[in-house]
A = this chain, B = another copy of it.
Amino acid sequence: MEPAARAGPGARSEDVRRRNLATLLRHVHVHGPTSRSALTNLLALNRSTIGDLTSQLVAAGLVREEVGERSAAAPTRGGATVGRPSYVVVPEVHGVQALAIDIGVTHLTVARVGLGGRVLSRRDLALRRGPRRMRDVVRSLGRVARDQLAEMPAGTTCAGAGAAVPGMVRVPDGLVRQVPNLGWTDVPLGAELARELGMTVVVGNDADLGALAEHVRGAAVGCDDVVYLAGHSGIGAGIFTDGRQLVGRGGYAGEVGHLAVNAEGQPCRCGSRGCWETEAGEERLFALAGRPPGGGLASVREIVLAAASGDARAAAAVEHVATWLGRGAGSVINVFNPEVVILGGALLEIYAAAEATVRKSVARFALAPPLEGVRLVPPAFGLDSSLLGAAELAFAPLLADPLQAMSRLHAS
Q: Is A381 in the interface zone, CB < 8 Å from B?
A: no
Task: Tell which of A168, A248, A373 has the most Cβ of chain B within 10 Å.
Answer: A248
With a CB–CB cut-off of 8 A, which chain B residues contact A372? 250
Count of identical protomers in the assembly: 2
Q: Scan residues 225-251 of chain A and give those whose CB is less than 8 A from a CB of chain B.
A: 225, 237, 241-242, 244, 246-251
How far, in angstroms, from A177 to B369 measured CA to CA in the complex?
7
Question: When A6-B10, A10-B5, A178-B367 are in contact, do A253 and B272 touch as well, CB less than 8 Å?
Answer: no
Question: Is A258 an interface position by the 8 A CB rule?
Answer: yes
In contact, B252 and A370 (Cβ under 8 angstroms): yes
Decide: B336 and A253 in contact? CB cutoff 8 A. Answer: yes
Cβ–Cβ < 8 Å partners of A8 in chain B: 6-11
| Chain B residues near A335 (CB-CB < 8 A) | 237, 253-256, 259, 335
Segment at the interface with B among A62-70, A100-108, A260-268, A297-305: A260-268
CA A260 to CA B366, docked complex, whole Å: 9
Are B328 and A260 within 8 A (Cβ)?
yes
Given A7-B9, A8-B10, A337-B248: A260 in contact with B369 (beta carbons within 8 A): no
Most buried by B among A7, A244, A256, A263: A263
- Closest B-chain residue to A224, C-beta based? B249
A179 CB to nearest chain B CB (Å): 12
Query: What are the residues of chain B within 8 A of A260 when measuring CB–CB?
Result: 261, 327-328, 330-331, 365
For the complex, give the distance between the alpha carbons of A335 and B177 in Å. 16
Q: How far is the CA of A250 from the CA of B5 in the complex (A)?
A: 31
The answer to whether B334 and A249 touch across the interface, beta carbons within 8 angstroms, is no
Q: Which residues of B sit under 8 angstroms from A252, Cβ to Cβ?
A: 337, 367, 369-370
Out of B250, B259, B368, which one reaches A369, CB within 8 Å? Answer: B250
Assuming the A-B contacts A244-B242, A259-B259, A335-B335, are A253 and B7 also in contact, with contact meaning beta carbons closer than 8 angstroms in the complex?
no
**Cβ contacts A195-239/B at 8 Å (1 or 0 each):** 000000000000000000000000000001100000000000100
The yes or no answer to A338 lying at the interface (CB within 8 A) is: yes
A338 CB to closest chain B CB (Å) equals 6
A255 to B9 alpha-carbon distance, docked (Å): 47
How far is it, in angstroms, between the C-alpha of A334 and the C-alpha of B247 when the chains are bound?
12
Contact B242 A247 (CB under 8 A): yes
A-side residues, CB < 8 A to B, are 5-11, 168, 170, 177-178, 224-225, 237, 241-242, 244, 246-256, 258-265, 270-272, 327-328, 330-331, 334-339, 364-365, 367-370, 372-374
5 contacts between A and B (CB under 8 A): A170-B369, A255-B370, A258-B331, A260-B327, A272-B365
